[in-house]
Amino acid sequence: MTVAEAWNGPLGQHWAAHPDRYNAMLDGFDAALFDAAAVADGDRVVDIGCGSGLTTRMAALRAPAGRVTGVDISEPLVGRARALTDDAQFPHVTYRLGDAQSCAFEPGGYDLAISRGGVMFFADPVAAFANIAGALRPGGRLVFLCPQPAQPDGEERKALGLLASLLGRDHTTESAVATAMASLSEPERIHEVLGAAGFTDIEVTGVSADTCWGKDAADAVGFFVSRAPGLAVSDATRAAMTSALLPYETPRGVMLRAGVWVVAARTP
Applying CB under 6 A, the residues found at the interface with ligand SAM are 7, 12, 22, 26, 49-52, 54-55, 71-74, 77, 99-101, 116-118, 121-122
CB closer to ligand SAM, 11 vs 159 = 11
**Contact status, residue 198 vs residue 159, Cβ threshold 8 Å:** no
Shortest Cβ 184–ligand SAM spacing (Å): 12
**Contact status, residue 132 vs residue 102, Cβ threshold 8 Å:** no
Shortest Cβ 117–ligand SAM spacing (Å): 4
Shortest Cβ 27–ligand SAM spacing (Å): 9
- 200-212 vs 253-266, strand pairing mode: antiparallel
CB closer to ligand SAM, 74 vs 211 = 74
Number of Cβ atoms within 10 Å of the Cβ of 87 = 8
CB closer to ligand SAM, 118 vs 140 = 118
Shortest Cβ 114–ligand SAM spacing (Å): 9
C-alpha span between 76 and 65 (Å, rounded): 29
Number of Cβ atoms within 10 Å of the Cβ of 127 = 14
C-alpha span between 103 and 36 (Å, rounded): 26
C-alpha span between 33 and 111 (Å, rounded): 16
CB closer to ligand SAM, 30 vs 203 = 30
Query: Which positions ≥6 away from 72 have C-beta within 8 Å?
Result: 7, 49, 50, 51, 78, 81, 95, 96, 97, 98, 118
**Contact status, residue 116 vs residue 145, Cβ threshold 8 Å:** yes
CB closer to ligand SAM, 210 vs 249 = 210
SS3 119: coil
Shortest Cβ 254–ligand SAM spacing (Å): 19
CB closer to ligand SAM, 82 vs 238 = 82
Shortest Cβ 72–ligand SAM spacing (Å): 4
Quote the DSSP letter at residue 121. Answer: -
